[in-house]
Amino acid sequence: MLSNFKNHIGKHVAISDEQFEAIVPYFEVLDVKKKAHLQNPGQAHLYNYFVLDGCLRMYTLHEKGQELTCDFALESWWICDQKAYIGKQESNCAIQAVENSRILRISRDQELLLLQEQAFIQSYFLQVYQKAYAAAQFRNKLFKLHSKEEIFIQFNNNFPDFVQRVPQYLIASYLGLTPEYLSEIRKKMFS
Amino acid sequence: MLSNFKNHIGKHVAISDEQFEAIVPYFEVLDVKKKAHLQNPGQAHLYNYFVLDGCLRMYTLHEKGQELTCDFALESWWICDQKAYIGKQESNCAIQAVENSRILRISRDQELLLLQEQAFIQSYFLQVYQKAYAAAQFRNKLFKLHSKEEIFIQFNNNFPDFVQRVPQYLIASYLGLTPEYLSEIRKKMFS
């Protein structure tokens, strides 16, 4: 299963078997059951998570107690509350398994050590963060330019597998819609 | 003025005068007048911009022709349409000077060459992108959790200098409010 991680790195930088073996000890492998929490709101000592298999989501609680999904991560995506993670602060976000998942995690201290001791990996992380920033900036623009209904239609056209795979109430929580309203939009789309 | 750039790099990685001189040729320095455009919608051959002095904004056009401000950059911030920049695609965003500004720009090709030929700078860019991603993720969360009115109040409390410096109609365009409604919120706040 770790081969997924090596392949992902290999898409960004050349990596030999020896180099991969040298970086593995900085990470921990975890198996998590569907709905289990990897991080709870108010937690310090955060980790950055890489999905080997499965799906994670990050959410925060609205003052009315409602869960608002901020991000999803499928295979080969990283997920964390970046501001709290790099600042070593408490996070007000939770990270939960959407499916039974196998993941890698790394603490900020281990990450800094890894970047220092295995400098070749800097280029991999730089490319990962450039893409993550691009995706976050694109999402910001999307939410500014379009209605939630339009965003769901785009979502559905661009990522049909994702929409099939993730429970509808979580997609509703990501778009800030009620599950009932999302269900109405779907009925209209497929009628 | 380039010393602003050297100082910014120096906050992230150790850099000698010789190392700084080696990276300067990858960049161009430009002076732009207030309201001048560095990038127009539909443009390919994009650049990443670093503000030495002044202020830039990035905006996109709503289908109704209205300008929506996506990002601002004050001194020591980078700004570009990241998805189009790294993918070397056309951007649907414009980048405009909010004030008379002095900026550095680098093309994607030059950036890739710089990262390859001056590997010490990778760590600087990695840290810049980690912070940029953190800020974009935080903004996404903010816009999901709070009303535009609440966001403006937070903005005003956290960045009073910024709110004083940037014209109100641009802050309105960033928050997706009409200038008239923002003016009403301000009146309420300061009454």
If one compares B145 and A109, the residue with the highest pLDDT of the two is A109
Looking from the CA of A80 toward its CB, the CA atoms found within 13 Å total 28
Least confident of A119-123, A148-152, B166-170: A148-152
Nearest residue in chain B measured CA to CA from A146: B62
The pLDDT of residue B170 is 93
**Mutate which of B80, B82, B115, B117 to disrupt the A interface (most A C-beta within 10 Å)?**
B82
For A140-173, letters b (16+ CB in 10 Å) and e give: bbebbbeebbebbbebbeeeeeeeeebeebbbbb
Distance from CA of B89 to the nearest CA of A (A): 13
Nearest Cα to A98, choosing from A115, A118, A84, A77?
Answer: A77
**Mutate which of B92, B114, B130, B139 to disrupt the A interface (most A C-beta within 10 Å)?**
B130
**Mutate which of A130, A148, A177 to disrupt the B interface (most B C-beta within 10 Å)?**
A130
pLDDT at residue A188 greater than cutoff 90: no
Give the C-alpha separation, B155 to B72, whole Å. 13
Report B:132-161 residues touching A (Cβ under 8 A): 132-141, 143-145
The pLDDT of residue A28 is 98
If one compares A47 and A139, the residue with the highest pLDDT of the two is A47
Tell me: the pLDDT tens digits for A24-45?
A: 999 999 999 999 999 999 988 9
Give the C-alpha separation, A70 to A58, whole Å. 6
- The whole-number average pLDDT for the span B148-162 is 86
Global confidence as pTM: 0.94
With vertex at residue A146, the alpha carbon angle to CA A145 and CA A152, rounded to the nearest 5 degrees, is 145
The pLDDT of residue A22 is 97
pLDDT at residue A63 greater than cutoff 80: no
pLDDT at residue A132 greater than cutoff 80: yes
Query: What rounded mean pLDDT belongs to chain A?
Result: 93
Q: Across-strand partners of A185?
A: none
Domain architecture of chain B: domains with CATH: 3-119 (2.60.120.10)
Instruction: Decide: helix, strand or coil at residue A36.
Output: coil
pLDDT-derived band of residue A179, with 50, 70 and 90 as boundaries? confident
Nearest residue in chain B measured CA to CA from A148: B144
The pLDDT of residue A87 is 95
Instruction: Decide the pairing of beta strands B28-32 and A101-107.
Output: unpaired
- Angle, nearest 10°, between helix axes A168-175 and A148-158? 130
Q: Do A83 and B119 touch (CB under 8 A)?
A: no
pLDDT at residue A148 greater than cutoff 90: no
pLDDT at residue A92 greater than cutoff 90: yes
> Which residues from chain B sit within 8 angstroms of residue A93, using beta carbons?
141
